[in-house]
């Protein structure tokens, strides 16, 4: 994620949630697998990626929505 955060600096904010400690958040977003990446735009969920993905795949998904 560090590589992606540098690439999209000023355009995308990245954050992490510990689903063990934040079970309500995990339930709200139906997170069943780790890793799960959820992309939000203007407070609305736009895309969800589950499982290990390549940097290229994540970049492509982000670019579709920014």
**pLDDT tens, position by position, 17-55:** 999 999 999 999 999 999 999 999 999 999 999 999 999
- Distances in whole angstroms, Cα of residue 51 to Cα of each of 6, 7, 10, 36, 54: 22, 21, 26, 6, 10
pTM for the model? 0.85
CATH 3.40.50.261 fits 2-65, yes or no: no
Span of 1-5, 6-10, 47-51, 56-60 with lowest mean pLDDT = 1-5
In 10 A of CB 8, how many CB atoms?
15
């Amino acid at each position: 994620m560090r590589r992606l955060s540098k690439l999209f600096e000023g355009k995308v904010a990245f954050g992490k949630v510990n689903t063990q400690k934040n079970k309500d958040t995990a339930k709200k977003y139906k997170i069943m697998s780790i890793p799960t990446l959820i992309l939000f735009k203007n407070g609305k969920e736009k895309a969800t990626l589950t499982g290990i993905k390549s940097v290229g795949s994540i970049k492509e998904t982000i670019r579709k929505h920014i």
